[in-house]
Amino acid sequence: MGQLAESRTIAGELPLSPNAVVVLKKRYLKKDDNGEVTEGAQEMFRRVAETIAQVDLAYDPKAEVAKTTRKFYELMANLFFMPNSPTLMNAGRELGQLSACFVLPVEDSIESIFDAIKHTAIIHKSGGGTGFSFSRIRPENDGVLSTKGVASGPISFMNIFDVATETIKQGGTRRGANMGILRIDHPDIERFITCKNDTKRLTNFNISVGLTDAFMTAVQEKADFPLINPRTGEEVKRVKAHALFDLIVESAWATGEPGIIFLDAVNRGNTIPHLGEIEATNPCGEQPLLPYESCNLGSLNLAKVVKDGAVDYSLLKKIVHTAVHFLDNVIDANNFPLESIQEQTLANRKIGLGVMGFADMLIQMGIPYNTEEAVALGEEVMAFIQKEARLASASLADKRGNFKFYAGSRFDGNGIGRMRNATTTTIAPTGTISIIAGCSSGIEPLFAVSYVRRVLEGTELVEAHPLFEEIAKQRGFYSTELMRQIAQTGSIREFKEIPKDVRRLFVTAHEVSPQWHIRLQAAFQKHTDNAVSKTVNFPHQAGPDDVRQVYLMAYEMGLKGVTIYRDGSRDQQVLSFGKGKPKEMEYIVPRPRPARTTGVTELINTGCGKLYVTVNRDEMGFCEVFAQMGKTGGCASSQIESTGRLISLALRSGVKIDALIKQITGIRCPSPIWQNGHQVLSCPDAIAKVLAGVAQVEAPAPTMTMASCPDCGGAIEHEGGCLVCRGCGFSKCN
């Protein structure tokens, strides 16, 4: 069967894109023993709808199951809503495990640790992902009374979890994923923060540091912070809070990990605090859970609820109510991997209704992503969804009863008087389900306006965002050559032949400043029961201080967690230091200074006086730096001159200017000074500020690094701790 004919067979009458067909065939549709697809998309949606609708009979023997089946089918077939991947894959099939995320407890004993490893294997085999807090495990070198030996610490046990995950292949449909969290006050926290700086280690883990309000206060006050042995509850030592925070920042800047979870913010949003504190989340961080809880997720397609340039709230309300009914039924239809998970999930009945297609919604409404209007719309839409999801849950409670531990929950006594589900909303990564729905991922901006999709026998097809292609044709600047040129970087920022308003509207992830990423995330978090999965993108030339400011901003704005990714930071292996001696030392010879250079001289005030900094370049890039302070002489003059000479030597030896900036930024002297709202700490710090300004001016407009998919060679996008290829559906964790 030809590819086009096969696509028509799989899609049937449904409005599915070629990418959606590829993803469905690869990961979701039933196959026979020979690996041949035996159902189309319509049959898949019907299989899921029938299975989930049957649950109604358990609550009402006279339920109109056929009518509910049709509602659920139309919800998915019209691409208004998609449940999480395990539900699409497994509903109505032998496995029958429908949940995406679980949290398992890990106590400070060998028995508990290896029970958790066994349970992890069972969950991964069924297609789920797992989250753990390792904060209860005693630190490395702590005493073990039963053997008179010493403990190996939480990180050593994480390695065992990682190997177990690698072994379980999940039937070839979903890749095992874990989240490992360690509290900031654990004595092994420094090793944990840097444990993934070697990016070949713990490859089946995302890691996050659990930050507390007390720690963040200590950071802001530059105070000492106690590390506590979880076995004894006693203080082990004190560390400089700001130095520990800087270690997190530096590691995240270098590799994207660890992420951060604000534990107190998470527990302020815990709707069932009488059952215990939340310590862990699912692999992408958006679903905080108590031990043995699971959560069933699904996402609304916001691109489908825009009519005549405005949000159709009447349609959105209907979709929300049907989706909440669907997700509550999923809980009862589920074949849980462990009895303890079944018991806890049925007791609390957490669901997580989220969104996708937000960037598409904005484009349809003519609103650029990085604007006040976008922030306001995001908050307005999510507030509506939250309100209607809770009303839908309350309506179900009238017919089916409250969740078991409603009494004492935060809903008890709030005026509603009933609630079927302990939580109703979560914004999760939507990688592959957004491909099926043909919309943008989650609440992320567009990853690319146009990109290359690789198909059979190495053939490359250029695919443009459908709304961009439509506008390009309407306004007369469309051409296949233009689309191919755009696909090289994904951005239209530098294409002057494209009208300015169109370039402003179709902004991509790396063109949105980190501050706007945080503001959009905060807008949605205000009206989300659980958490919001989102990646804050940084250009490659961003420095650690940029990451630091975003973390502080996220805390101030009440976020529950943050994931950052600096463009290109994972493209090469981060240096790790072994014990072996190199066989042969290689020395670098700097290129000679050219006869002619061009550059700029900038005056900057320091505590020692006015400093003149000259930065020159040749045809190969930056090559030398001179600095001079007025008429000063003696020791100060010689030190400033030597700093310039060493920087010049490094530049002509091929050292990147951002690496040099990083090294001399923040050096302090006894006489700091303020200039234009920024503190200049010393002469080297002043030189760093000039270099950073020059580098920013000289740098090309930020564009994304089109990292390659391991399956098809297409572009990989980062989303909430996940890696997703929109060309073939490869996904790291969902």
SS (H, E, C) 306-355: EECCEECHHHHHHHHHHHHHHHHHHHHHCCCCCHHHHHHHHHHCCEEEEE
Whether residue 730 contacts residue 23, with contact meaning beta carbons closer than 8 Å, is answered with no
Helices 213-221 and 241-255: crossing angle in degrees, nearest 10, is 100
Starting at the edge strand found earlier in the chain, the sheet holding 609-618 runs 598-606, 609-618, 621-629
Give the number of other Cβ atoms within 10 Å of residue 191's Cβ. Answer: 16
| Strand bridging mode 621-629 / 609-618 | antiparallel
Cα separation values, 261 from 181, 182, 213, 303, 490, Å: 8, 10, 11, 30, 31
Catalytic, 282? Answer yes
In whole angstroms, what is the distance from residue 621 CA to residue 607 CA? 31
User: DSSP labels for 77-131?
Assistant: HTTSEEE-HHHHHHTTSSS-----EEE----SSHHHHHHHHHHHHHHHHTT-EEE
SS (H, E, C) 397-442: HHHHCCCCCCCCCCCCCCCCCCCCCCCCECECCCHHHHHHHCCCCC
* Half-sphere exposure in the Cβ direction for 610 (13 Å, CA): 6
For the chain, how far is it from start to end, CA to CA, in angstroms? 30
Number of H helices, E strands in the chain: 25, 27
Catalytic position from the list 19, 270, 282, 530: 282
Residue that is written with structure tokens 């130095």 in the block: 243
- CA nearest neighbour of 648 among 697, 599, 698: 599
Give the number of other Cβ atoms within 10 Å of residue 44's Cβ. Answer: 22
Report residue 11 as tokens.
């899609």
459 φ/ψ sector (left φ>0, alpha ψ -120 to 50, else beta): beta
Whether residue 705 contacts residue 540, with contact meaning beta carbons closer than 8 Å, is answered with yes
Catalytic position from the list 279, 286, 444, 624: 286
User: Which residues 6+ apart lie within 8 Å of 708 measured at CB?
Assistant: 714, 715, 716
User: DSSP labels for 643-712?
Assistant: HHHHHHHHHHTT--HHHHHHHHTT---S--EEETTEEE-SHHHHHHHHHHHHHHHHSPPP----PBPTTT
DSSP 3-state of 376: helix
Instruction: Judge if the upstream peptide bond of residue 283 is cis by omega within 30 degrees of 0.
Output: no
Catalytic, 284? Answer yes
Report residue 475 as tokens.
């306004």
Residue type at 242 in one-letter notation: H
In whole angstroms, what is the distance from residue 166 CA to residue 172 CA? 12
Residues classed as catalytic: 282, 284, 286
